[in-house]
Chain A
Amino acid sequence: MSVTRREFFSLLSAVSLTALYRPVPPLTAQTPDSLPGGGPSGRLWDPGRAGRPMEPVTAADNSAAIQTIEKRLRCTCGCNLDVYTCRTTDFTCTTSPAMHRQVLALAEQGKTGPEIVDAFVRTNGVAILMAPPKHGFNLAGYFTPSLVILVAGVLLLLALRRWTRATPAAEPSAAPPPPPDASPAELERLRHELEQFTD
C-alpha cells in the first residue's frame, strides 16, 4: 500500500492531536467530610515546618477600626511595616502580634482610635507612627516639597516671561514676502511632513 506524503502528514497530525488531547476532568462535588465545618482537621505530619503556631482569627482581628489604628502604627521589629501589614505578612514576627494584642486590649477598655495611638506614642515616642504628626518641625516635612515646587514654578514663570519678552519680535517687513515657489498642494504636503518631524 502506498501512502502519499500529504496522507502521511495528515495521519501524523491526527495522531499528534489525539495524543495531545486531554479530556477535562469532570468537576466533582466535595466529599461529605469536607463540607463546611465538618472537616477532619487532621494533624500535620510535621507542624514545625508550617512556621509559628497561630491563634484562630477573631472578629476583632478583622475589624476595620482596629486595622485603621494598626496601619498608623509601626511594628518595632525593624521590618519598617505597619503593625497590621506585619502581623498579616511576616508570620515569624512576634512583635506585631504582641502590639496587636495591646491594641485590642486598649480597645476593649473603651479607648477611641486616637487615644490608642496616643497611648503608643507616649510609650514609644513619635517614631512609632508610620507618618510624623503634623505639628512643629514635621510640618516642614509635609509642606517643603510642595512649597519648593510652587516657588520654583513661580520663578520659572517669571523667567519665562522675561525670556519671552527679551526675544525680539520679528520686525514687520517693508515689503510682503515673495510668494512661495510651490503649489498649494506641495505646501500642504510640506506642512504635514514637518509636523511629523517636530517631536
Chain B
Amino acid sequence: MTVLGNLALWVALLLGVWAALVGFLGGSRGRADLQRSARHAVFAMCGALLIAVFAVEWALFHHDFNVEYVAAYTSRNLPIFYTWSALYAGQKGSLLFWATVLSVFGSLAQLFTARRHQVYLPYVASVVGTVTAFFVTVMLFAANPFSRLAYTPADGSGLNPQLQNPGMVFHPPMLYLGYISMTIPFAFAIAALASKKLDSDWLVAIRKWTLVSWLFLSIGLVLGMWWAYVELGWGGYWAWDPVENAALLPWLTMTAFLHSVMIQEKRGMLKKWNLALVIGSWLLSIMGTFITRSGVISSVHSFTESPVGYYFLFFLLFAAIASFTLYARRLPLLTAEARLESMVSREASFLFNNLLLVGVAFSVLWGTLFPILSELVQGTKVTVGPPFFNQVNIPLGLALLALTGIGPLIAWRRASLPNLQRQFALPVTAGVFTGLVLLLLGMRDFYALLAMAIGGFVLATVTQEFARGTRARRRQYGEPAAVALAHLVGRNRRRYGGYVVHTGIVVLFIAFAGMAFKTETEATLKPGQSASIRSPYGWTYSFTHLGISQFDQLNRQVTAATIEVRRNGKRAGLITTEKRQHVDALGRPTFQPSTEPGIRSDPLEDLYLVLGGVVNGTEEAVFRFTINPLVWWVWYGGLIVVLGGLIVMWPGGGSPAVKRTQAGYAVRLVEEGK
C-alpha cells in the first residue's frame, strides 16, 4: 500500500503542476481545450490524493508498524476512531489531509460554480493546482507519510493522551477545513486580478465559500477552546498560544471581509480593501501553518522542528510577492463606483469595524512575533504570554464589541440626528442600566463590568432590530408575532443571521468576562476530609474526598478520585477526576500519566477538579479546586455564532431583485433633483 500511496503522491504532484500551468495558459489565452484540461487535472489530482489517504488509513487500520507514521501515532489497542483520526495527528498525515481536502474543495468549486462565473475557473484550477502541488512536494521531499522504518516494532508508540479526546476527531478537521477552504476565495481573487474582471462578480462567486471558511474556523476555534478546557487540565480555554493565535488571525480578517464586502456589493466601494483582505487572510492561514510546523516560535501545539518550516517560509514569501505584485498592477482598475456621503453612516461604521478587526489581528500577530523581533533587535528573547495579550487586546476587543452594537443602529449613506436619537435611546439606556445594576450588586472588576454593560447595549440593539422588523411585518401583513419573526429572518437571512452572530459574540464576551472572577485553591485530602471554597456568587462549596479506585479501561490504567460536592451544606453531586496511564497492547506505558479533570457545569459556574497526585502511595491525594464562572456560556455563545452563520449561508431566499418583487409592490424611481 505504501508503494501505491507514494505513486499516488507523485501522480498528484504532476497533475497539480499541470493544472497550474495549463489553467493559467488556458485562462490568459482563452483556449477552451486547455481550460478543460486544467479542470480535469484538478479532478484527477483529487482522485490521486484520495487514493493516498486510503493507503494511509489502510496502513493505520492494519497496524503496519513498519510505516514510520503508523508506528509513531498509533498502537494496536488504540480505539478505532482515534486510529482513524491519527491521519491528521502528526505532521506528515496532516499535510496529506490538507492537500486532499484542498483538492476536494477545488473540484467542488469547478463543479458547482455558476455558469456566469466560468471565466474565473481556469485560474482557480491553476491556483488550487499550485497550492496542492506545494503541499505534495513538501510530503515527497521532507515529510513523507509512507516512509518506512528499517525494522518493524511489535507495537506502535500510541497517540498522545491529550489527543485521545472526542475533540481530536472534530477540532483539527474543522480548523483545517476553515484554513483550507480559504484557498478557494483566494483563488477567485487571483482569478479576478489575472482576468482583469474586477467588478463585484467574483464576490458573488465566493460568497458561500467565504462563509463556509468563516463558519469552519469559528467551529474549529470554539471546539479548540472546549478541548483545551476539558482535556488540558489548567482550568482555562484560551492561553494566547502562538498556534491559537495563528487560528484567530484569519478568523479576524475574514470577519472584517464579511462586513466590508457588503459595502462593495451595495455601493461598489472598497474594492482594493476587499481584495487585500481575501489575499491577506489566505496568507495568514499559510503563515499559521508555518508557525505550527517550523518550531520558530515555541508552542505547546507545535509539531517537532523539521525542515518543513523552510518550505512553508519560502512558499509564503513567494505567494505574498506574487499576489501583491499582481494586485499592485491592477490597482488602477480598482476604482470605487461611489463615494461616501457622510461620516455618520453605516459604511463609515463598517470601516471603523474593519479598522478594529484588522487592528486586533495586527496586535495578535505583533505579540506572537515579538519574541523573534526582540531577539533580532535586543539580542534577547522575551516571553509574550497571556498578561501581555490581555493588556493589549482587551480594550480593543471591547471597542469592537461596542461597534457590534453601534453599526446596525446607523443608517446606510447618511444618518440624521433625530434618526440617531431614536435608534440609540433604548440600547444606550439598556447598557447604562446593566452597568449600574452590576455596580450596585458589587461588581468591581473594571473590564468585566464594561464588557457586561456593552453586552447589554448590543443585546438591546439586536432585540430592537428584531422587534421593529417583526412589528412592521405584523402591521403590514397582520401576521402573528412568531410567523412575522420567522418571515423576517427568512426574507433577509444575511441581516438577521448576522444579528444572531452578534448575539453569540456578546454571549462569548460575557462568558470571557466571567473568568475575571475565577477562584481556586489546592488541598491535600485524606478520604473523608473536606476543603471549602467560596463562589463569587456568595455561596460556599465543600468538597469531600470519598476515596480512590484503580481500574483498567480501554488502552489505559485509571486512578480515579471521587469527590462529593455540597453547596451551602446541601448535596450537589459527585465529581470524578482521574489520572490515566496509557499503555500499548503489551501493557507497556506509552506516555507520562495524564490528568483528566472532573467538571460540573451549570449556567452560573463550573466546578473544575483536578487530581494532582497521591501522597506516599496512599489514598491521601492532592487536588486543585477551581470555580470558573460563566464558562457554560462560552460553548453556547459559540453555538449561537454558528447558528447565526448557518442562517446567513442557508440556501434560498432569492436575489435582492426577486425579494423586492416578492414584497408585493413595484417602485417607480424618480431621479433626484429633477
Give A contacts to B, CB under 8 Å: 27, 30, 33-57, 61-62, 71-72, 74, 78-82, 85, 88-92, 125-132, 136-138, 141-142, 144-146, 148-149, 152-153, 156-157, 160-161, 163-164, 166-167, 170-173, 177-178, 180-182, 186, 189-190, 192-193, 195-199
A45 touches B550 (CB 8 A): yes
Nearest CB of chain A from residue B248's CB, rounded to whole Å: 14
CB distance B527 to A128 under 8 Å?
Answer: no
Are the CB atoms of B613 and A54 closer together than 8 Å?
Answer: yes
List the 3 shortest-distance A-B pairs measured between CB atoms, nearest first: A199-B495, A47-B617, A39-B527
Quick one: which of A85, A130, A141, A192 contacts B374, CB cutoff 8 A?
A141
Kindly state the separation between the CA atoms of A116 and B463 in the bound complex, as whole angstroms.
52
Q: Which of A39, A50, A138 has the most CB of B within 10 A?
A: A50
Q: How far, in whole Å, are A78 and B300 apart by their CA atoms in the complex? A: 8
By the criterion CB–CB under 8 Å, are B342 and A164 in contact?
A: yes
Nearest A residue (CB) for B351: A156
Least distance between B656 CB and chain A CB atoms (Å): 7
User: Once the chains are docked, how many angstroms separate the CA of A57 from the CA of B342?
Assistant: 64
**CB proximity of B369 to chain A, nearest CB, Å:** 10
Q: What 0/1 pattern do residues 386 to 427 of B give for CB contact below 8 A with A?
A: 111001100110000000000000011000000000000000
B491 contacts the other chain (CB 8 A): yes
Chain A residues with Cβ below 8 Å from B527 are 34, 39-41
Q: Does B113 contact A (CB under 8 A)?
A: no
Asked if B195 is an interface residue, CB under 8 A from chain A, the answer is no
User: With contacts A36-B528, A56-B524 known, is A80 near B239, CB below 8 A?
Assistant: yes
A49 and B579 contacting across the interface, CB-CB below 8 Å: yes
Assess whether B4 is interfacial by the CB under 8 Å rule: no
- Given A141-B374, A149-B359 in contact, is the A56-B622 Cβ separation under 8 Å? yes
B233 CB within 8 Å of chain A: yes
Interface set, chain B 572-625, CB cutoff 8 A to A: 579, 581, 592-593, 595, 610-622, 624
The answer to whether A141 touches B384, judged by C-beta atoms less than 8 angstroms apart, is yes
Chain A residues with Cβ under 8 A from B469's Cβ?
A: 195-196
In whole angstroms, what is the CA distance A79 to B528 when docked?
A: 34
A192–B469 alpha-carbon span in the complex (Å): 8
Which chain B residues in 657-674 approach chain A with CB under 8 Å?
659-660, 663, 665, 667-668, 670, 672-674
With A41-B618, A177-B674 already in contact, the answer to whether A131 and B356 are too (CB < 8 A) is no
Shortest Cβ gap from A157 to chain B (Å): 8
Query: A27: nearest residue on chain B (CB-CB)?
Result: B571
12 chain-A/chain-B pairs, Cβ below 8 angstroms:
A49-B581, A51-B559, A57-B524, A89-B610, A127-B382, A128-B383, A145-B362, A146-B392, A149-B359, A189-B476, A195-B472, A196-B495
* Contact call A57/B529, Cβ cutoff below 8 A: no
B548 in the interface, Cβ–Cβ < 8 Å?
yes
B352 at the interface (CB under 8 A from A): yes
Q: How far is the CB of B501 from chain A (nearest CB, A)?
A: 12
B381 part of interface (Cβ distance < 8 Å): yes
A54-B524, A152-B355, A181-B668 known, 6 other contacts, Cβ within 8 Å: A27-B571, A50-B548, A53-B613, A62-B521, A141-B373, A164-B340
* Shortest Cβ distance from residue A32 to the other chain B in the assembled complex, whole angstroms: 9
Residues of A within 8 A of B387 (CB): 71-72, 130-131
Whether A80 contacts B526 in the complex (CB less than 8 A), given A50-B593, A177-B674, A178-B670, comes out as no
Which residues in chain B, 346-370, are within 8 Å of chain A measured between CB atoms? 346, 348, 351-352, 355-356, 359, 362-363, 366-367, 370
A37 in contact with B384 (CB, 8 Å): no
A138 and B300 contacting across the interface, CB-CB below 8 Å: no
What CA separation (Å) do A144 and B387 show in the bound complex?
Answer: 16
Candidates B382, B412, B612; contact of A91 at CB < 8 Å: B612
Are B234's CB and A81's CB within 8 A? yes
Chain A proximity of B647: nearest CB distance (Å)? 12
Which chain A positions have C-beta within 8 A of B44? none
Chain B nearest CB, measured from A15 CB (Å): 31
Docked complex Cα distance between A152 and B593 (Å)? 50
Across-interface contacts of B548 in A (CB, < 8 A): 44, 50
Of B351, B385, B530, B622, the contact of A36 (CB 8 Å cutoff): B530
In the assembled complex, how far is the CB of residue A168 from the closest CB belonging to chain B, in whole angstroms?
Answer: 9
Tell me the number of A-to-B contacts counted with CB atoms below 8 Å. Answer: 272
Chain B minimum-CB-distance residue to A82: B385
Is the CB–CB distance between B382 and A129 below 8 Å? Answer: yes
Task: Tell me which residues across on chain B come within 8 A of A167, comparing CB atoms.
Answer: 339-341
Q: A36-B529, A142-B391, A199-B494 are in contact. Are A80 and B298 (CB under 8 A)?
A: yes
In the complex, chain B residues whose CB is within 8 Å of the CB of A195: 468-469, 472
Q: Contacts of A156 on B, CB cut-off 8 Å?
A: 351-352, 355
- Residue in A46, A144, A199 whose CB lies within 8 Å of B550: A46
Q: Across the interface, do A132 and B613 meet the contact criterion of CB distance under 8 Å?
A: no
Docked pose: A113 CA to B527 CA in angstroms: 36
How far apart are the CA atoms of A131 and B370 in the complex, in Å?
11
Q: Distance (Å) between the CB of A174 and the closest chain B CB?
A: 9
Answer whether A197 and B659 are a contact pair too, CB < 8 Å, given A39-B527, A164-B340: yes
- Interface code B87-124, partner A: CB below 8 Å = 1, 0 otherwise? 00000000000000000000000000000000000000
Contacts A160-B343, A196-B492; is A126 near B380 (CB within 8 Å)?
A: yes
The complex places the Cα of A164 from the Cα of B494 at a distance, in Å, of 28
Find the A residue at minimum CB distance from B377.
Answer: A137
With A127-B380, A160-B343, A178-B670 in contact, is A47–B355 under 8 Å at CB?
no
Choose among B234, B384, B613, B616 the residue that contacts A89 (Cβ–Cβ < 8 A): B234
CB–CB B670/A89 < 8 A: no
Does the CB pair A197–B384 fall under 8 Å?
no
Residues on the A chain within 8 Å of B619, using CB: 39-44
A135 CA / B495 CA spacing, docked (Å): 46
| Binary interface encoding of chain B residues 608-651 relative to chain A, with 1 for a CB under 8 A from any of its CBs, else 0 | 00111111111111101000000000000000000000000000
The answer to the question of B154 belonging to the interface, with a C-beta cut-off of 8 Å to chain A, is no
Most buried by A among B356, B383, B624: B383
Q: Cβ of B380 and Cβ of A131 under 8 Å apart? A: no
Q: Assess whether B665 is in contact with A37, with CB atoms less than 8 Å apart.
A: no
Asked whether B411 lies within 8 Å of A142 as measured between CB atoms, the reply is no
Residue of A nearest to B617 (CB): A47
Cβ contact of A164, chosen from B341, B362, B388, B618, cutoff 8 A: B341
Q: Does B557 contact A (CB under 8 A)?
A: yes
A180 contacts across to B, CB distance below 8 A: 670
Chain A neighbourhood of B612, CB < 8 A: 54, 88, 91
| Interface presence of B11 (CB below 8 A) | no
CB under 8 Å from chain A, chain B span 217-242: 232-235, 239, 241
- Is B173 on the interface with A (CB-CB < 8 A)? no
Complex: chain B residue closest to A93, CB-CB? B592
Q: How far is the CA of A39 from the CA of B618 in the complex (A)?
A: 11
Nearest-neighbour CB distance to chain A for B387, whole angstroms, equals: 4
Query: Of B362, B388, B592, which one neighbours A51 at CB under 8 angstroms?
Result: B592
Give A40 Cβ to nearest chain B Cβ, in Å: 7
A53–B616 contact, CB under 8 A? yes
Q: Are A52 and B613 CB-contacts (below 8 A) given A126-B382, A163-B339, A193-B663?
A: yes
Is B325 positioned at the interface, with any CB of A under 8 Å from its CB? no
Contact with A43, one of B378, B396, B476, B618 (Cβ below 8 angstroms): B618
**What's the least CB distance linking A112 to chain B, in Å?**
19
Q: In the complex, are the beta carbons of B579 and A50 less than 8 A apart?
A: yes
B445 at interface (Cβ–Cβ under 8 A)?
no
- Asked if A89 and B522 make an inter-chain contact with CB atoms under 8 angstroms apart, the answer reads no
Which chain B residues border A79 with CB–CB below 8 Å?
A: 300
